[in-house]
Amino acid sequence: MNGAIITHPGLEAVSGKEVKELIGVDAEMKRSVALFTPKKIEDFCTLCYRSQSAVKVLYVLFSSRFRRLEELLPKIDGLDLSEWLEGKTFCVRSKIVENEGVDTMESERLIGEVIHEKYKAKVDLEKPDIPLFAYFIGNDFYFGIDFAGFDMSKRNYRIFSLSDSVKATVSYALVRLAGYKKGMTLLDPFVQSGTVAIEAAFFATKKPINFYNKDKFAFFKFPQFKDFNFDNFFEKNDKFDADIKGITASDSQQRHVKAAEKNAKVAGVNKLINFTRLDVEWLDTKFEKQSVDRIISNPPKVSRLLTEKGIEKLFQELFYTADFILKKDGRIVLLAKNYKQILNHASRHNFELKANFPFMQGKEEFSVLIFEREKK
């Protein structure tokens, strides 16, 4: 029995850390996946319910290097899926990353035909009992049972979303790569949809990220859980700390602050976050000298409303203010695409780049930049 968390390419280490924290086993990191061997099958359910970095949680039936799709089909045909498919409907979904030689619809059709011919199981594309998932990442292939049955990178609280927003799984990765822990003072000065602050609140309280998605999981239909007590499972996992302080979500635009606050209310964590409309240059009036542990944000990009000069001014003010409010051992963690201008402003205010984590969200390449004060 093997498993995998599928995540954004480049952020595997975050998922690996979650596997250790949530189910107590070590994970092996490969491109876009964290591979693990669970102690018990319900560990898959725990990861589905609690993981904030996962796009998919996969019960791995088969994995392999490959050159062509056709060479995988006999190996899939050789799998014994009778315990999963007897009397059940199924469908095959696939995702292809960094491989232009495989077509999504063709892979789903060919793999589905192999399984249908062998087991005579009915196909249900809408609500299958057993959702099968084929993941192609470069020349690596992973095939298995999609335990959640839905895209876990999507959040039900993302109702008020902005065009420049990134996935909540990426915001969570920023929080973890920053080394944020409960009790620290965290500031997001460019709040946008509020995902950084919201994901930090879920992490700090240990509230399950899918607390409001209990009825959506595919694993309820799996034959292995026919006699499993899910009431006890959720009762055990629903113990969280609702009393945290120190998370502030700020922005110069009131509409961003309001959107973030509404999203946090949907998520049930709005009372744990301090929302405020404030320009970056005035943050030193809100926070005392060296009082902030972490500044974590997805800064705005050049747009019709914000010019290159405007962006330059924002970063200049950010690092100038951070020099005053950030603790001596504090960190600034920013999501960026073209980050040369960020490095220039950081250096001027005695911050140095300590780490750079490049990753992919879809076909877009980003970097997570981690800054600390220069050692004197």
pLDDT at site 368: 96
Give the three-class secondary structure for 316: helix
Q: How many CB atoms lie within 10 A of CB 257?
A: 20
What's the pTM value of the predicted model, to 2 decimals? 0.95
Arithmetic mean of pLDDT over the chain: 94
- Once rounded to an integer, what is the mean pLDDT over residues 177-198? 96
Rounded Cα gap, residues 266 and 254, in angstroms: 19
- Residue 35: which H helix or E strand, with range? strand 33-36
pLDDT at site 243: 82
pLDDT at site 8: 97
pLDDT at site 363: 86
User: Using 50, 70 and 90 to split pLDDT, how confident is the model at 141?
Assistant: very high
* Res. 164: pLDDT tops 70: no
Domains, the chain, in order of start with CATH, read 2-146 (3.30.2130.30), 168-205+243-373 (3.40.50.150)
pLDDT at site 304: 65
pLDDT at site 166: 83
List pLDDT tens digits, range 216-260.
999 999 999 999 999 999 999 998 988 899 999 999 999 999 999
What is the arrangement of strands in the sheet containing 90-97, beginning at the earlier edge strand? Answer: 27-30, 33-36, 2-6, 56-65, 140-146, 130-137, 90-97
pLDDT at site 310: 78
The answer to whether the beta carbons of residues 57 and 94 sit under 8 Å apart is no
- Once rounded to an integer, what is the mean pLDDT over residues 194-209? 97
pLDDT at site 339: 81
pLDDT at site 305: 65
Of 35, 33, 57, residue with least CA distance to 46: 57
